[in-house]
Chain A
Amino acid sequence: MADMREPIESGCPDPWQYMHPMMRKNFGQWKYHDHPRPGVLLHVAYSGDKIWTVKAGTQRILDVFTLRKLCDIGDEFAEGYVHFTLRSNIEYMVTDEAKVQPLIDTLEGAGFVVGGTQNSVAMISHTQGWLHCDIPGTDASGVVKSMMDELIDEFRNANMPNRVHITTSCCQINCGGQGDIAINIQHTKPPKINHDLVANVCERPSVVARCPVAAIRPAMVNGKPSLEVDERKCICCGACYPPCPPMQINDAEHSKLAIWVGGNHSNARGKPTFQKLVAAGIPNNPPRWPEATAIVKRILKAYKEGARDWERVNEWIERIGWPRFFEEVELPFTKYHIDTWRGARASFNSSSYIRF
């Protein structure tokens, strides 16, 4: 212990030291932005200064070779500064318009994908999956790689009615977050309990407390203290599994994918919205998950054809109505689409507004 050093509790570093000088100079003094081409933004300051931003998608899980490659490009074109977006894209800022095209060519030549701006399908924000998570029902990076392979043109070309945020999550905690389209694990069977291990591994009262539907109770099983699940009540959410790994919720067959639409965190035109379930029972099918991608593509196609300029997915559906949405994306409407959770009543139609 004698050689242990005290940590320096410096917290969140000051970004000023790492910020592009042109951004430091005009901090808080930007006048407007333009979108000269997909993947490129132009910001103009009140001072007249201009800065071009070139955005590129990467594999997100970066090896040091790739990270250094990205740094090399930053040194060559962007004065040694980079910025990462909230969806893990990298951005290079240049103050000389003549550098924009060579920078794009260099990024594309190195295998990165320039795009992701404005009304494009943005990089999928995702979780850790089988690579690192302790409770994943599926992979994350692999799903995203497979989907972005299929959606690369929509990332490159800003030709959607408005921006599209896609997210994936490998359990129902949904770290990936709300999205215009969200692809999440949805377990369909209650946990399989290894009763020999529960008492030694799990803090039973806190596991009982985790259950959102009070379906878990302490029990003696095979003469050992354990937990049992009332399977009629269980909603298969998996909340008991992280604090109690012997309650295995993941199942190669019965952990399926579900697709949700209409999550939108912007306040523009309307208040933020949460995503709604549209498809479920989709096979969790590595390494390429073609079934899920096919549905995502159908939704994107219908949105692209049917939505008006600036309408996000939720606004498009609000306008055309859910019956037509299900029709246009050729998805079944079932009793499982009817909410059963608290506040469900607010989602029922208590009017004479009917769509034909």
Chain B
Amino acid sequence: MKLSCNIDIRHLTRVEGHGNIRIKISDGKVVEAKWEVVETPRFFEAMLVGKHWENAPYICGRICGICSIGHTLASIRAIENAFQIQPTVQTARLRLLLKHMETLQSHILHLYFLAAPDFLGTGSVLPLINSHPDVIQRALRLKMIANDACDIIGGRRIHPIRTVVGGFTMLPQKKELDGIRQRLAAAAPDLVASAELFKSFATPSFVRETEFVSLKGENDYPFIGGEMISSDGVRHKEADYRKMTNEYCVKGSTSKWSKLSRKSFAVGALARMNNNFGMLHSAARNVASELAFAPVCHNPFMCNVAQLVECVHVVYDSISLIDELLALPLQEDRQTVSPRKGCGVGAIEVPRGILYHYYEFNAKGTLVKADCVIPTSQNHANIHHDIEEMAMQYSQTNVDDRDIELLAQMLVRSYDPCISCSVH
């Protein structure tokens, strides 16, 4: 039995934003085990009040530097739903392709730069540049394809430019899309090698039964809009997102928390895969079985594997999307916007889970109310309870303090939290 342990991590590293982990075990009893979010709040929802509709996607993209494309698209979708604008098929395809490329760059960044150093025994990616040059070059190749694609579709890899309500300000050229297609097709060996690398890592065996929330795909693996579902059987329409998120404030955290059927739930790659496994591209499902992933998986450390599987899915799905885009002439695509009084919700699966933007407009198209519910804020309670459970389990063992400390850090990192985002 473990008698005592005192872990106090201030500003966890290799995550986006500021969070602390505190675990105190005394005489074999867990005295304290918590996840604290101390990030400075920015008040985006208040900033938007009184602003003209056009500002929202532009300003809200700035909620996050890693998933700015997802925020922009969720914001655009909320406005289009409020003003009853239906994007064209071409716009929908280009947006999904752009989203896929954000997912790929974000997942690769997390897997190789933030998570892999733990498994390879270093404090950061920097020593790996010399010790594992092939690994780093592979990560850079994959990340570069995704970022280059974001440049040609969105105009920029962070805080996109071309994405607007009603369509795009400018379209990529067909030869640019074809160039991305060729590079994606050539990335297959890098994806195989990535799977091999993560197969060689020992995933900690920690398990805690969890409720998973994601969009529910009807025919496709879901990314943009549609109904939300939980693995406990709750199902809601996009417009009823509040019934899914139930946000509340907690002491010691500047981010809100969420709950549904239990005291917490999880969103993200693991939740998406647990809820929609059958709709993944067959190549992705093959990688999942190679990496011993089977739904429903309750090990939070498997989020890394789920992200890797999703990388495979988005690469193959992007190739199909580009083929569809190349089959027809690309048409200038920007609908005129007629504001009206009303409200709209945009629900989108971003790299870390389901993201909601909700706006209310007056007849002039001025924002009177805004609400953004962020994936990481939905995950915080689950992260906290995972840490609690982990502390409970380790209080009964002889595991070294430093091992617990590392495992607790790896646990939080496996959620790939975007803390600034969660404290928007």
A and B interact = no
